[in-house]
Every structure is written in C-alpha cells, then in structure tokens.
Amino acid sequence: MLTFEQFLQDTAQKGEAINLIFEERLFGLVGVLHKIADPLMAENVPHELIGGLAVLVHVEAADPTHSTLTRDVDLMILRSDLEHVKEIASQHGFRFRHSAGLDMLLYSETDSARNAVHLIFSGEKTGPNQATPNPPIHPERRAIHGREVFVIPVVDLARMKLSAYHDQDRVHVRSMDAAGLITPAVEQALPAELQSRLQHVRETE
C-alpha cells in the first residue's frame, strides 16, 4: 500500500502541488479502511464502502478536480453478519461501540469517532427521513492507495445520497454530477421522487 511519505516523494518528483491537509486526512481514513476491509475480504464477509469516501473513490477515478474530503468511513454490511464483523474487527485492533443509534468500530485506543468505521445495514433505513431503504450489497472492485476495496456502485450510491438528502449528501451528489458520474442511465434508474431531488440539486447548485 502506498504510504503518505511515498506519496509526498512521488508528487515532489513530478513537480505537482498538493493540499497537505486534504491528503494527510485522506491517507488516515484509507489506512483505517484497509485495516477492516482487508480482513473482511479475506473472510468473504459481504460488505461495501459507501458514504463520502465511496464518493471520493468514484470521483477520483472520473475527475479528481471535483473530489471532496469526508470525515469518516462508512461500510455497509448485512445485519445478520454484525456479530461476525465485530469478532473479526476485534482481532484487528477495533472496538465496537453503539452510541446515539449508531454502530461503529473504533480503532486502537482512541475514543474519538473522528476515524470511526460506521456500520450501515443493507435493506434498512439509516434515519427516519430516509426516502428508501439501503440497497442490496453488490460491490465493485476499486483501487485506492494501491489496494483494492469493495465499493458501492455509482447508481446505488446516488440513490442513497438522494434518499438521505442532508446538506453533505447534496454536496456529494453535486460532486458526482460534476465529475460526470450521474449519467442519463443512472438518472433513469432512480425512482421518480429521487429524480425530482436530483433536479432540485442541479437547479440550486
């Protein structure tokens, strides 16, 4: 896996400018992601990266100029696999915590939710205002910092973001749309209510 130091050296050799705060934060998040995603992949536990980090992975591949930083790692799993995931996580330096209605994995001894892995469940609604349940797990393989992870497909990600529809979700939708990821085919696959929300996001950009 590419280290932050190697990234800095490679970038300096290319003479490119970087945003140190953005990149250092991203490397921290990706490091935590790999610490849990690698053993889940090894154990064949169904999962996929969702949320802002999934948006970033897709946008980076399409048009990095529209990337936005996220605060945490969101993984979607099956509710029936929760105990198995907790067991695997505990073997790799994570501690499970349920707080304020959220299931999360905290890495190492930190009690901060800043680098927590939030567990979201397929087929369930994450919040009372969510328009549609979370989609089934059908991940795509995508590489980030030299290693593959399972990432939610764009159409499912757009559906989740438009269904949740918080301020940050709309920012992510704009980022995906600007990068050309919300194609006519993706838009047509959305329910009518979410197509209407997408149009509103575009009109209020």
How is the chain split into domains, by residue range? 4-152
Give the span between the Cα atoms of 122 and 75, in whole angstroms: 10
The 10s digit of each residue's pLDDT in 16-29 is 545 444 555 677 88
The beta strand positions in 124-188, using DSSP E, are: 140-144, 147-151
Give the span between the Cα atoms of 176 and 158, in whole angstroms: 8
Residues 6+ apart with CB under 8 A from 135: 122, 152, 156, 159, 160
The 10s digit of each residue's pLDDT in 124-177 is 998 888 989 999 999 999 998 888 999 999 999 999 999 999 999 999 999 999
The 10s digit of each residue's pLDDT in 64-87 is 889 887 878 999 999 999 999 999
Nearest Cα residue to 161 out of 82, 38, 70: 70
Q: What is the CATH number of domain 4-152?
A: 3.30.460
The beta strand positions in the chain, using DSSP E, are: 47-50, 73-77, 94-99, 102-107, 117-121, 140-144, 147-151
Q: Using CA of residue 163, residue 169, residue 170, residue 172, what is the dihedral sign? A: negative
Q: Quick one: pLDDT at residue 17?
A: 47
Give the span between the Cα atoms of 41 and 88, in whole angstroms: 11
Q: Quick one: pLDDT at residue 4?
A: 44
Q: Please state the pTM of the whole predicted model.
A: 0.86
Report the mean per-residue pLDDT for the chain: 88
